[in-house]
């Protein structure tokens, strides 16, 4: 059975998501449709790039992932279908694939600019390409139509990349990163991956983490390694440094928003101190 996933900024109050599913099932009633989320902040491409890159790899090979976060709908922006790492992505060419294509070991198999209107739902509206283009193209692909039939080969250098902040080491030898996502639990997920941390310093207990004039000492394994209500730094489930509060909300505790900087320093061992 084929799988199509949906990631949009449509919310759940309107019928838009249901309509896209209706279009898909009208073409292929045997496909399984799975929601990643429909609560992307309207028009937030960076957030959707983060969400799809963290989710897609847990689905079976050949899953088709539709992402509709598309402030340019109806304008001259391109819609692309990309086969990457064995998965197919359908999205506007606006940077959504940045974090997926950014990896060293990425395998970009094929990119198509979708311009064959034979598979579109007619008449094509100017404001709801999710319904008229993304959904029917995904449904036809799920039935086995090859990618090259839906449009024109597209050079991967033309795929738009977001200018997403990367962690760096400052002149004071501090590792500077950024909060890139705040989840439902208020966990602050940063752009610092475990590999970058390891290169910066090999001993987790030696880290001092500074965020909005607060200080956290050491990196631990799991929320319950500190008391309830206490802050903690750990490597989260997606492999990035995360600032949390045991049974609380890091976002409230530190009073921070997406995009805030975090600094990591290495503690100097004092004479009378015995660090692990």
Could you give the 3-state DSSP secondary structure of residue 93? Answer: coil
Among 78, 125, 217, 261, binds a copy of itself (CB under 8 A): 125
Concatenate the DSSP letters of all residues of 57-89 into one string.
Answer: GGSPTT-EEEEE--TTTTSS--EEEEEETTEEE
Output 38 or 140, the one with its CB closest to a copy of itself: 38
Q: Does 79 interact with a copy of itself (rule: CB under 8 A)? A: no
Stretch that binds a copy of itself, among 100-108, 112-120, 148-156, 231-239 (CB under 8 A): 231-239
Could you give the 3-state DSSP secondary structure of residue 7? Answer: strand
Q: 125-149 burial, b for 16+ CB within 10 Å, e for fewer?
A: eeebbbbbbbbbbbbbbbeeeebee
Q: What is the largest CA-CA distance in the chain?
A: 76
Spatial distance between the Cα atoms of 233 and 118, rounded to a whole number of angstroms: 52
Q: How many residues are listed for the chain in this entry?
A: 276
Output 46 or 54, the one with its CB closest to a copy of itself: 54
Binding mask 237-256 for a copy of itself (x = CB under 8 A): x----x----x---------
Q: Which helix (H) or strand (E) holds 216?
A: strand 214-217
What residues from 128 to 187 belong to the interface with a copy of itself (CB under 8 A)?
128, 131-132, 181, 183-185
Least distance from a copy of itself to the Cβ atom of residue 271, Å = 33
Are the beta carbons of 216 and 232 closer than 8 angstroms? Answer: yes
Stretch that binds a copy of itself, among 65-73, 142-150, 169-177, 257-265 (CB under 8 A): 65-73
Stretch that binds a copy of itself, among 20-28, 92-100, 144-152, 207-215 (CB under 8 A): 20-28
| Residues forming the site for a copy of itself (CB under 8 A) | 1, 3, 5, 7, 9-19, 21-23, 25-26, 29-30, 32-39, 42-43, 51-52, 54-56, 58-60, 63, 71-75, 125-128, 131-132, 181, 183-185, 221-224, 234, 236-237, 242, 247
């Amino acid at each position: 059975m084929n799988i199509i996933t949906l990631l949009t900024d449509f919310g759940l109050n309107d019928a838009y998501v249901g309509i896209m599913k209706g279009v898909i099932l009208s073409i292929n009633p045997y496909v399984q449709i799975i929601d990643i989320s429909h609560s992307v902040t309207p028009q937030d491409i960076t957030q959707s790039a983060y969400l799809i890159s963290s989710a897609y790899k847990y689905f079976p090979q050949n899953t088709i992932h539709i992402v509709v976060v598309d402030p340019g709908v109806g304008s001259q922006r391109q819609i692309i279908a990309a086969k990457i790492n064995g998965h197919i992505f359908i999205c506007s060419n606006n940077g959504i694939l940045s974090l997926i294509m950014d990896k060293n070991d990425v395998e970009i198999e094929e990119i198509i600019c979708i311009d064959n209107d034979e598979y579109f739902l007619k008449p094509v509206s100017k404001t709801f390409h999710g319904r008229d283009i993304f959904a029917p193209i995904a449904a036809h692909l799920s039935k086995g139509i090859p990618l090259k039939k839906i449009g024109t080969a597209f050079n991967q250098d033309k795929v738009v990349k977001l200018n997403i902040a990367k962690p760096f080491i400052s002149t004071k030898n501090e590792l500077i990163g950024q909060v890139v996502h705040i989840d439902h639990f208020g966990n602050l997920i940063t752009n610092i991956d475990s590999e970058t941390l390891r290169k910066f310093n090999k001993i987790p207990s030696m880290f001092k983490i500074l965020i909005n004039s607060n200080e956290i000492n050491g990196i631990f394994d799991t929320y319950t390694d500190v008391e309830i209500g206490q802050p903690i730094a750990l490597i989260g489930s997606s492999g990035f440094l995360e600032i949390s509060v045991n049974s609380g909300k890091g976002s409230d505790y530190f009073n921070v928003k997406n995009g805030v900087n975090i600094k990591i320093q290495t503690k100097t061992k004092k004479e009378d101190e015995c660090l692990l």
